[in-house]
Amino acid sequence: METDRIDDALVRRVSTMFVPTSDCKSAVEPFDVLLAAGAAVGGLCLLICGESGVGKSTLIRWLTKNLRSVKTDAGWSRPAIFVEVPASPTAIAVCEALLDALGDPRPSAGTRPQKFRRLREKLAEQQVRLLVLDDLQHVFDRESERVLFDASEGIKQILVEHPMSILCAGLADASKVVESNEQLKRRHMATVHLRRFDWNSARSRSSFVAVLSAVVQALGDFEFPDLEDEGVAVRFYLGSGGIMDFIFKIFLLATWFAMKAKKRTVGMREFSRAWKVGLLHSAGQDDPFTADMGDEENLTRWVEKAKQINLPSPRQPKKRRASSRLRETGL
């Protein structure tokens, strides 16, 4: 095995891993309803909402794993199509992304009406009954704090012309897109919220330790510390803030460092190095993998600090500009 780069098989083992937490399991029944009852009512909408890195895209892959595209003599049959909403999207950009997902060889060819007509035909031909839109928050412009009307209307037009269910995922702003779009809002089911792990919650802490154990099991040809020991597991929480993506990144890099050193034992030294090299929030911070945690009070401060990892910067209130000279002078 080469050690000058991270092995593809190792990346797949870690990046495709899925451990169904209680939040993830709460999505199963709504998703089953989405598929089973969606066609009967002209389509339903389910939104999976959460911070960046908590596992929304991974949950979608798990929920839709049995909805596979099949090529028949008559062409493709796609029960579901998957699209990442482009940044600052327009209706045309959304339409082209869908055409590409449907196998259109020239998704950008033609006028807007021609593209939407091709899209409608392909959705019907390939019997699509579920549209999966990831990164739905891109339809919300944080600068102006407004939903991008053109893109939202494009999604509305697609659902009117080809009624189907829609599974959306995104950050908190995605909920504003659903609320502002009459087609999505009318179909909307209860939102599924994916949260980062919380060390102060016994249930969440237990799930966090279960995730660490699952990673160790998946990387069974390596030896790790006893991660079921909460005194050890808490160090991974402090280093990751309870965010799934950061946990996997720490493991991936630590394992690679061990491989480079021709070792099969991955210890705190490798985890410390992975944390320092791989995560931006480590800069200038005490190393949770080597530091003395101290007493209970000090550990509490560490945990509270970890909860701030990767939180978005607070939005600055926008200054309203006067719309006329009279208003500027108070008249």
pLDDT band at 328 (very low <50, low <70, confident <90, very high): very low
Most confident option among 31-40, 147-156, 220-229, 232-241: 232-241
The yes-or-no verdict on residue 217 having pLDDT over 50 is: yes
For residues 177 and 229, membership in a common domain is answered with no
For residues 144 and 274, membership in a common domain is answered with no
Does residue 317 lie within any of the structural domains? no
What 3-state DSSP class applies to 308?
A: coil
Does residue 5 lie within any of the structural domains? no
Please tell me the chain's helix, strand, coil percentages from 3-state DSSP, rounded to the nearest 5: 50, 10, 40
Query: How many other CB atoms are found less than 10 A from the CB of residue 292?
Result: 7
For residues 160 and 222, membership in a common domain is answered with no
Q: How many helices (H) and strands (E) does the chain have?
A: 15, 9
Helix (H) or strand (E) holding 123: helix 112-125
Q: Select from 131, 161, 194 the last residue of a domain.
A: 194
For residues 245 and 141, membership in a common domain is answered with no
pLDDT band at 303 (very low <50, low <70, confident <90, very high): very high
Spatial separation of the C-alpha atoms in residues 295 and 309, rounded to whole Å: 22
Q: Select from 179, 194, 209 the last residue of a domain.
A: 194
Helix (H) or strand (E) holding 32: helix 28-38
Q: Which residues of 189-207 are buried (b: 16+ CB within 10 A; e: fewer)?
A: bebbbbebbbbeeeebbeb
pLDDT of residue 287: 93
CATH of the domain at 82: 3.40.50.300
For residues 245 and 148, membership in a common domain is answered with no
pLDDT of residue 19: 81
Does residue 316 lie within any of the structural domains? no
For residues 161 and 236, membership in a common domain is answered with no
Q: Please enumerate in sequence order all residues whose Cβ is within 8 A of that of 19, keeping only pairs 6 or more positions apart, or say none.
A: 207, 210, 211, 214
Angle of helix 202-218 relative to helix 244-260, nearest 10 degrees? Answer: 30
pLDDT of residue 331: 37
For residues 158 and 267, membership in a common domain is answered with no
Q: Select from 194, 224, 256 the last residue of a domain.
A: 194
The residue that leads in pLDDT, 112 or 325, is 112
For residues 183 and 258, membership in a common domain is answered with no
Q: What is the DSSP letter of 55?
A: S
Torsion (CA) 228, 1, 246, 141 in degrees, nearest 10: -150
The yes-or-no verdict on residue 166 having pLDDT over 90 is: yes
The yes-or-no verdict on residue 317 having pLDDT over 80 is: no
pLDDT band at 165 (very low <50, low <70, confident <90, very high): very high
pLDDT band at 279 (very low <50, low <70, confident <90, very high): very high
What share of the chain has pLDDT > 70, as a percent? 92
Mean pLDDT value across the chain = 88
What 3-state DSSP class applies to 51?
A: coil
Does residue 13 lie within any of the structural domains? no
For residues 28 and 175, membership in a common domain is answered with yes
N- to C-terminal Cα separation, the chain: 76
Does residue 213 lie within any of the structural domains? yes
For residues 225 and 183, membership in a common domain is answered with no
Give me the domain span that covers residue 250.
197-306
Spatial separation of the C-alpha atoms in residues 44 and 327, rounded to whole Å: 46
Does residue 3 lie within any of the structural domains? no
Domain count, the chain: 2
The yes-or-no verdict on residue 318 having pLDDT over 60 is: no
The closest alpha carbon to 235, from 311, 310, 306, 309, belongs to 306
Does residue 327 lie within any of the structural domains? no
For residues 146 and 254, membership in a common domain is answered with no
Does residue 330 lie within any of the structural domains? no
Query: What are the DSSP E strand ranges found in the chain?
Result: 45-50, 70-72, 75-77, 80-84, 130-134, 140-141, 146-147, 165-170, 192-194
Q: What is the 3-state secondary structure (H, E, C) of 178-241?
A: HHHCHHHHHHECCCEEECCCCCCCHHHHHHHHHHHHHHHHHCCCCECCCCCCHHHHHHHHHHHC
The amino acid at residue 72 is T
- To which residue do tokens 């005194």 refer? 231
For residues 202 and 179, membership in a common domain is answered with no
8 A C-beta contact, residue 45 and residue 166: yes
Most confident option among 13-27, 32-46, 105-119, 207-221: 105-119
The amino acid at residue 325 is R
Q: What is the pLDDT of residues 77-125, one digit of tens each?
A: 899 999 999 988 999 999 999 999 999 999 999 999 999 999 999 999 9
